[in-house]
Amino acid sequence: MSKKQVWIINHYAFPYGYGFHTRAHTIAKMLKNLGYEVTIFASSFNHLKTKEVQIENIYKEEIHDNIKYMWINTKEYQGNGLGRIKNIFEFSKNLNSIYKDFDDKPDIVWVSSPHPFSIYNGIRIKNYFKSKFIYEERDIWPLTLQILNGVSKYNPLVMVFRYLQLQAYKYSDMIVTPLDNLKEFVNKSGYKNKNIEYLPQPFVPFPFETFDIDLPKDKFIVGYVGSIGHSNSVMNLLKAANLLKENTDIYFLMVGDGPQLDELKKFVKEKKILNAKFFGKLEKKQAMYVLSQCNILYKGHPDIKLYNYGLSAVKLNEYMYSNKPIVHAVNLKNDSVVKSSCGLNILPENEEELKNAILKLKEDDILYDKCSNNGRQYVEENFMEDKIEEKLKMIMNRL
């Protein structure tokens, strides 16, 4: 009996070694372990990649970890403007022109939602091959655009996004999500009987790769690793750094790239903050090494109702696994930092609270040691690959 075929459509998917966002690749590996054949359709270019894909034709096939990748040819872009939107449309258009040509036909098509245009492809493929359709909602589009970017619900792009989201709810055989309260949103959207399965972010330990990093000795280092943007409230960290700039024994380290980076650098220069340093985008093994060199870690988000439905924080498990105390500035119902006692949960976007939390962890050795010893254990008990694979097996059996 031949193995069942799963096609994963994820614009931003890539293998280990190509960047930070490897959820799709990890899920594909787990599906392989469960006896499925997996093909991932991904964009040849996206702003999250740290390693380029050289491609000349409409698509290029590669094998990574025994998983077939179909890189769909898309043009490069910078920022969040028209170039990125064209890249997204190009991916969807090119995939639509080739999906009928492959010998392997999908039994299941799995569409992930870094953006919703791939929903159109998923529904077409489902109907053409009579496949099952799994919709993975990682970000609630268009609510993310409306709340984080202040875009009107009557904006044409928002209206298209909402239409596609409702189509995904209508035609999918199952919704999978790392958001632990998505069901509430789907119910409000009129789909109260939808089969929704919670699938957390699987954690894959990455070895450190030491490299020459210019960090001050004998300083208390507060670290941040991730995208530099409003959705991660990185400016809040710099505002706290400004309040603490006279504390010369405290140092702030930020690793990553993103649309807010220039604004943050300007803030540092204007406020004459000498105890903060920016690194660019690093490979994952190097980023994990940077985490190991920090004393505490910061993770933040805006104070918005979007997080009532859950939070898919890819970085949080890596933070927790590093066994460093975490200051988590977020208004969230089920915060893993609170549940695991691996740090402090504070009000979002409040630099005074953040300053006080940093000083508390710096000065209270008992609290620091307690928080240091809980994060890794919590991840090992709840988010390791074998735990999530068991969950995935149950989900696929239900499908």
235 confidence band (pLDDT: 50, 70, 90)? very high
pLDDT(128) > 70: yes
Exposed/middle/buried for residue 314 (C-beta within 10 Å: 0-12, 13-18, 19+): middle
- Token pair in block for residue 23: 């959820």
SS3 189: coil
Distances from the Cα of 198 to the Cαs of 74, 280, 376, in angstroms? 32, 33, 21
CA distance 290 to 283: 11
- With contact defined as beta carbons under 8 Å apart, do 170 and 145 qualify? no
The per-residue DSSP string of 239-293 comes to: HHHHHTTT-TTEEEEEE---TTHHHHHHHHHHHT--SEEEE----HHHHHHHHHH
pLDDT value, residue 234: 96
- Token pair in block for residue 18: 């190509």
132 confidence band (pLDDT: 50, 70, 90)? very high
Exposed/middle/buried for residue 272 (C-beta within 10 Å: 0-12, 13-18, 19+): exposed
**Averaged pLDDT, 178-207:** 91
- Token pair in block for residue 2: 């031949």
In terms of pLDDT, which residue wins out, 397 or 21? Answer: 397
User: Strands 67-72 and 59-64: what pairing?
Assistant: antiparallel
CB atoms near residue 56 (< 10 Å): 6
270 confidence band (pLDDT: 50, 70, 90)? very high
Which of these, 19, 26, 16, lies nearest to 45 by C-alpha position?
19
pLDDT(1) > 70: no
Which of these, 74, 76, 103, lies nearest to 89 by C-alpha position?
74
pLDDT value, residue 341: 96
Comparing 11-20, 255-264, 326-335, the range with the smallest average pLDDT is 11-20
User: Strands 67-72 and 196-198: what pairing?
Assistant: unpaired
Comparing 75-84, 237-246, 265-274, the range with the smallest average pLDDT is 75-84
- Strand partners for 7: 39, 109
CA distance 12 to 166: 22
pLDDT(342) > 80: yes
pLDDT value, residue 291: 85
392 confidence band (pLDDT: 50, 70, 90)? very high
SS3 328: strand
Phi, psi of 104 (to 5 degrees): -80, 125
135 confidence band (pLDDT: 50, 70, 90)? very high
- Strand partners for 197: 176
Percentage of the chain exceeding pLDDT 90? 70
387 confidence band (pLDDT: 50, 70, 90)? very high
**Averaged pLDDT, 90-117:** 92
328 confidence band (pLDDT: 50, 70, 90)? very high
**Averaged pLDDT, 45-62:** 89
Q: Which domains does the chain have, with CATH numbers?
A: 5-202+384-398 (3.40.50.2000), 220-381 (3.40.50.2000)
Q: What is the mean pLDDT of the chain?
A: 92
In terms of pLDDT, which residue wins out, 215 or 63? Answer: 63
**Averaged pLDDT, 3-16:** 94
Q: Residue holding tokens 């960090």? A: 215
**Averaged pLDDT, 105-110:** 97
The residues, ordered by sequence, that sit 6+ positions from 270 with a Cβ below 8 Å of its Cβ are: none
- Per-residue pLDDT tens for 366-376? 999 999 989 99
pLDDT value, residue 228: 92
pLDDT value, residue 279: 86
In terms of pLDDT, which residue wins out, 290 or 393? Answer: 393
pLDDT(206) > 90: no
Exposed/middle/buried for residue 274 (C-beta within 10 Å: 0-12, 13-18, 19+): exposed
**Averaged pLDDT, 332-359:** 95
Percentage of the chain exceeding pLDDT 70? 99
pLDDT value, residue 80: 75
**Averaged pLDDT, 302-325:** 87
